[in-house]
Amino acid sequence: MAVTARPALDAQKLRADFPIFEQKIHGKPLAYLDSAVSSQKPRQVLDAMNVFYETSYTNVHRGVYTLSERATDAYEGAREKVRAFVNAPSAREVIFLRNATEALNLVAYSWGLNNLGPGDVVLVSELEHHSNFVPWQYMANRTGADFRMLPLDEHGELRLDLLDETVGDGNVKVVATNLVSNSLGTISPVEKVAAWAHERGAIYVCDAAQAAPHRTVDVQALGCDFLAVSGHKMCGPSGVGFLWGRAELLESMEPFLMGGHMIRQVRFETTTWGELPHKFEAGTAPAAEAVGLGAAVDYLTDVGLDAIAEHEHALAAYALERLADVGGITSYGPPADRRAGIVSFNVDGIHPHDVAQVLDSEGIAIRAGHHCCQPLMTKLGVAATNRASFYLYTVPDEIDRLVEGLHKVRKILG
C-alpha cells in the first residue's frame, strides 16, 4: 500500500461487512469503483430490513394494533436518526421520499410553482447533476423566470467571483448547487453560496446526494434552506431518500403528491393538508427502506464520517498520482486537496465505454458516460469520461488494479 497518510479506518476489515465482496467477477475479486452511482450494502443494513419484515411489518401510520404501532415506531425512529445525521432542528422537517431526484423535484414544483415568475432568476451551476438542473430549467420555463448557470473555472470549481455578474440586476429567487460533484468530486464552498443567496433574498437548495454518504453534513452549519439526499448512495437500500427543509418554507408550500395519508380532511368541495412531514408523504411509506436507511445512518456514524472523508481523500490523492504515471491520461477536476473520492479521466483516443469494458474483464467496475451531467461534459469538451469513485470499503490495492487495467487498455486498444 503506497498511501502515506495513516489510514483513518480499516477498509479491509469493513469489507467483511459487505457480502457482495464474497464473489468473483470473471474469476477476479470484485473491485467496485463505482460507489458514486450507488454504494454496496453492509449486513447490518440488510439484517435490519430483514428483521423489520420478519417481526414488525405492516403499513405505518394506519392501524391501532400492536404490529402497526411497532412498524410506525421503527419508521419514525429512522426519521429521528436521519434528523440527527444532518443536525436538523426538527424531525418533522425530514420528508422520506424515493431519492434525491424526487426531493429536488418536490422543491422545484411545490416551492417553484408558487414563488417564481417573470423577472425572477433561477441560478444553478455548470456542475449540476441533471436532477438538480432539469427540474429548475423546466420550472423556470414554465413560470417565465430566467434560468442561469454559474460558470466553473478550469479546475471544475464554482466561479464564486461571478455570482453577482451572472445574476446581474435580476431578482434571484433560488440558487441550487451540489455540495460534492458526482462527476469531478469537486467540494464546493456552499456555505458561501448560501450566504450570498440569502443576502440577495433568495433561498439556497443543496444537493447533498454525493456529500451526505461521505462527510459530515450539517444543515444548520451549511445555512441551506433545503437539502436532498439518496439513501442508496450511503449504504442504505434503494427506494428511499429524504428531503430536509426549513419548517416555515415547507409549511408555506403546497403538497407535491396527493392521496392517502397527506390530508387533514377531505370533503366533496375541498381538501385540507396534514401536518409536516405527512403533507409531503402521500401514499404507502417506504417503511422497510426507511428502517434500512436508519441502520445505514447508524453504520456510517459508527465508522465515523470524518474518518470516511479522510480515507476517501487519501484514496483520491493516491489515484490521481498513480493515473499520472500511466501516460496518455487526461484527468478532470480540482487538485486532490479540494476533492472527494471521485476521479474522472479519459484515456486519450479510447472511448470510455471501451475502457470500462476491458476493465470489467479484470473484475473492475467503473462508470463510463456523461454521469447525468451533460452541461458539464459540454463545458469540458467531451461526450463522456471514465469515473472511478471510492467509499469506506475501497482499498488502495483496487486502485493499483485499476492502474494495471489501464495499462492493459492502452496495450489492447491504444
Ligand X SMILES: Cc1ncc(COP(=O)(O)O)c(C=O)c1O
Enumerate the active-site residues: 372
Query: Between residues 202 and 240, which has the closer beta carbon with respect to ligand X?
Result: 240
Of 209, 365, 384, 388, which one interacts with ligand X (CB under 6 A)?
Answer: 209
Residue 331 near residue 156, CB atoms below 8 Å: no
Of 39, 40, 188, 210, which one interacts with ligand X (CB under 6 A)?
Answer: 210
Q: Distance between CA 193 and CA 211 in Å, rounded? A: 16
Q: Distance between CA 329 and CA 402 in Å, rounded? A: 13
Contact call for residue 214 and ligand X (CB under 6 A):
no
- Per CB under 6 A, which region of 60-68, 205-213, 246-254, 406-414 contacts ligand X? 205-213
Residues 229-268 that bind ligand X (CB under 6 A): 230
Q: Distance between CA 205 and CA 250 in Å, rounded? A: 13
Residue nearest to ligand X (CB): 182
- Per CB under 6 A, which region of 56-64, 124-132, 157-165, 313-321 contacts ligand X? 124-132
Contact call for residue 100 and ligand X (CB under 6 A):
yes
Least distance (Å) between residue 109 CB and ligand X: 15
List, in sequence order, every residue forming a beta bridge with 78; answer none if it has no partner: none
Q: Distance between CA 201 and CA 99 in Å, rounded? A: 28
Q: Distance between CA 374 and CA 79 in Å, rounded? A: 34
Terminal CA-to-CA distance of the chain, rounded, Å? 28
Least distance (Å) between residue 232 CB and ligand X: 6
Helix (H) or strand (E) holding 148: strand 146-150
Residues 40-99 that bind ligand X (CB under 6 A): 99
Contact call for residue 313 and ligand X (CB under 6 A):
no
Of 40, 56, 131, 346, which one interacts with ligand X (CB under 6 A)?
Answer: 131
Cβ burial, residue 95 (10 Å; 0-12/13-18/19+): buried
Query: Between residues 8 and 376, which has the closer beta carbon with respect to ligand X?
Result: 376
Q: What phi-psi label fits residue 369: left (phi over 0), alpha (psi between -120 and 50 degrees) or beta?
A: left
For ligand X, the binding residues (CB under 6 A) are 99-101, 129, 131-132, 178, 182, 207, 209-210, 230
